[in-house]
Amino acid sequence: MKLRYARRLDFTGGISDFDQFEEFGQPVMDLLRSEGRSPLVIVVDTGYGFSGGNVQPHIVLDHLNLSGDNPLVGPNNPIGQRFPVVNDIYIAAADTVDQEETWSIGHPLGKLRNGVAAGVRQGQKLSEEELKTCHELGSHFYCYNLVPTMIVAAHAGLKVLGLVVPEGQPLDAKVLTAIAR
C-alpha cells in the first residue's frame, strides 16, 4: 500500500497492509482537511462471480462482509469510534458530480453499473452453490480487498469510491481519466 497523491489514497496492497492504514490515516486526513477537501478514498479491486452475466466494471454501493473477519478486531484505534457506522460510506458517482471542492467525476463513471460487493476470505474461490447464496443474499459480485479496506477507511472517517473490475479486464481509459480528475 502506498500513498501516491495527497488528494487521494490509492491502495495497491493486500490485506496484510490494513494494520498500517490507521497509522498514516490521521496525518493524511489532516492534510486533506487542511487543503479544504473532503477525505475520500478510491478503492479499485478485482471482482469475481458477477451476477446476471454483467461481467463489467461496477461502482460499489454497499457490501456484505462474508470474510468471517473484521480488520477492526482488537483494541480500538482512537482515530475512530469503537463501533463505527459503515452505512452511507460508499459514494455513488452521481453524489460526487457537483462537489468541485472534492471530486469532479465525469460521465464515464456515471455510466458504470452499480452493485453490492460480497467481501470474502483472501483467495477464496466460490463454488456455484456459494455464488448462488451470495447473489440471493443481495451481492452482485465478490472480491477480497475492497471490504476490509472500506471498513478501515470508514472507521477513519473517510468516504469511499469503490470500483470493482472483472479479472483481466482493464478499466476504460476514460474512467481512469475521470478518477484522475
Partner 1 sequence: MPNLNKVAEKSAAEAVALIQTKLSSSSFAQTKPVAAVVLGSGVSVLDNLPDQVVLNFQDVFGMAPGVAGHSGTLTVGRLAEGDARTVAVLRGRFHLYEGYAWDAVTLAARTVVEWGLPNLLLTNAAGGLNQKYAVGDLMVLTGYRDHLSPKWKQESLIPAVQAKSETVSNTLTDKLIAAGQKLSQEDSQFRPLQAGVYAGLLGPSYETMAEIEMLRKLQADAVGMSTVPEILSCAGSKTMAAAVSVITNVWSDDVAMGGHEEVLEASKAASKRLDKLFRHVLSGL
φ, ψ (nearest 5 deg) of residue 98: -95, 5
Phi-psi region of 154 (alpha: psi -120 to 50; beta: other; left: phi over 0): alpha
Q: HSE on the CB side for 40, CA within 13 Å?
A: 23
Q: CA-CA distance, 25 to 27, in Å (whole number)?
A: 6
Residue 133 found at the interface with partner 1 (CB under 8 A):
yes
Residue 180 found at the interface with partner 1 (CB under 8 A):
no
Minimum CB separation of residue 128 from partner 1 in Å reads 12
Residue 161 found at the interface with partner 1 (CB under 8 A):
no
Residue 23 found at the interface with partner 1 (CB under 8 A):
no
Minimum CB separation of residue 148 from partner 1 in Å reads 10
Residue selected from 41, 42, 112, 134 as contacting partner 1 according to rule CB under 8 A: 134
Q: Which of residues 90-109 bind partner 1 (CB under 8 A)?
A: none
- Alpha helices by DSSP H, 71-127: 93-96, 107-110
Residue 114 found at the interface with partner 1 (CB under 8 A):
no
Q: CA-CA distance, 22 to 14, in Å (whole number)?
A: 15
Instruction: Write out the residues near partner 1 by the rule CB under 8 A.
Output: 19, 62-70, 72-76, 82-87, 116, 120-121, 124, 126, 130, 133-134, 136-139, 151, 154-155
